[in-house]
């Protein structure tokens, strides 16, 4: 079968034409707290599986989402613009300041506490537990918790989408990160150089799994974000790959 090869100018043209179509949502009221320390070191890892947020490019502008927003991990990678609601609480809000964060973690509910006494991540509240450096862009430290206005916005990322292959024989667990546009993923298909396309299932967070034996094959991916945009990543993982390796693509949403 003939293999389609795109020259760099054509590829760049393709990327330019396929700029993410995701558009911002309306503004919604919520609340925000912070965690992780002044250097955000306590935010590493998390329920989306991105690992070291410094190394993977997410940095300190991240947040854990409450149950109402996290959607069992389907919201991992989404970006939100957050403004402290100065009119609601002028004591602890920095007026006119906003920050854009990426969802990288889950803020678990605490049903032992009522919503107005620390159970801010309990359903149905829409709450952000932000990395401290991000929170301090909009709030005054002593406040601890502030009312916010937020909207979901397109994600802007440096470089292309990244794929990290973990797992073992007959079990590929692929972390898909650095996704621009909608940020969150709706569906993933995988193809080995000796197989056809196969659907993957979300295992947890931003990790997608396949149960095929793909060792020794180059791997291609077809990824669809939650706004319906689809991109192909042909042979992005070479045939000599090993579990635990990461691969960056030139393609982005």
- pLDDT at position 253 over 60: yes
d(CA 46, CA 48) in angstroms, rounded, equals: 6
- ∠ CA 45-251-8, nearest 5°, is 145
The pLDDT of residue 13? 38
What is the b/e burial string over 212-243, where b = at least 16 CB atoms within 10 angstroms of the residue's CB?
A: eebeebbbbbbbbbbbebebebbebbeeebee
Do 161-249 and 28-153 have the same topology in CATH? no
Q: Can you read off the two tokens belonging to residue 106?
A: 């889950």
The phi, psi pair for 13, rounded to 5°, reads -65, -45
The CATH homologous superfamily of the domain defined by 28-153: RlpA-like domain (2.40.40.10)
How confident is the model over 29-41, as a mean pLDDT?
97
- Structural domain spans, the chain: 28-153, 161-249
What pLDDT score was predicted for residue 80?
98
| 242 HSE (CA, 13 A, CB side) | 0
161-249 — its CATH code?
2.60.40.760
The predicted pLDDT at position 21 comes to 67
What is the distance between the alpha carbons of residues 208 and 203, in angstroms, rounded to a whole number?
Answer: 5
Say if pTM beats, i.e. exceeds, 0.85: yes
Average pLDDT over residues 98-127: 93
Report the percent of the chain where pLDDT is more than 70.
92
Lowest mean pLDDT among 20-24, 33-37, 189-193: 20-24
The full 3-state SS of 158-199, as one line of letters, equals CCCCEEEEEEECCEEEEEEECCCECCCEEEEEEEECCCCEEE
**pLDDT tens readout for residues 157-177:** 999 999 999 999 999 999 999
Compute the average pLDDT of residues 77-87: 97
pLDDT averaged over every residue in the chain: 92
In this predicted structure, what is the pLDDT of residue 18?
43
DSSP letter for each residue of 97-147: -EEEEEEEEE----TTS-GGGT-TTSTT--EEEEEHHHHTTTB-GGG-SEE
pLDDT at position 206 is 98
Mean pLDDT value across residues 140-157: 95
- 189/211 Cα distance (integer angstroms): 12
Highest mean pLDDT, choosing among 1-10, 110-119, 212-221: 212-221
* Tokens 């691969």 found at: 247
For residue 155, the cross-strand partners are 181
């Amino acid at each position: 079968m003939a293999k389609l090869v795109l020259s760099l100018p054509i590829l760049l043209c393709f990327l330019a034409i396929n700029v993410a179509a995701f558009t911002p949502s309306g503004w919604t009221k919520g609340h925000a707290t912070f965690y992780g320390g002044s250097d955000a070191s306590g935010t590493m890892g998390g329920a989306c599986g991105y690992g070291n947020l410094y190394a993977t490019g997410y940095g300190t502008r991240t947040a854990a989402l409450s149950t109402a927003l996290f959607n069992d991990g389907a919201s991992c990678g989404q970006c939100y613009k957050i403004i402290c609601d100065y009119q609601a609480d002028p004591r602890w809000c920095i007026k006119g300041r906003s920050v854009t964060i990426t969802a990288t973690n889950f803020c678990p509910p605490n049903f032992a506490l009522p919503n107005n006494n620390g159970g801010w991540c309990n359903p149905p509240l829409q709450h952000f537990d932000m990395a401290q450096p991000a929170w301090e862009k909009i709030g005054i430290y002593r406040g601890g918790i502030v009312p916010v206005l937020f909207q979901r916005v397109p994600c802007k990322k440096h470089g292309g989408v990244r794929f990290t292959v973990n797992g073992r024989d007959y079990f590929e667990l692929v972390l898909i990160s650095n996704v621009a546009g909608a940020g969150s993923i709706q569906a993933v298909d995988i193809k080995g150089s000796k197989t056809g396309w196969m659907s993957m299932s979300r295992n947890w967070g931003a990790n997608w799994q396949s149960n095929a034996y793909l060792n020794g094959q180059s791997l291609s991916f077809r990824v669809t974000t939650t706004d319906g945009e689809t991109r192909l990543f042909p042979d992005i993982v070479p045939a000599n790959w090993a579990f635990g390796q990461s691969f960056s693509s030139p393609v982005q949403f």
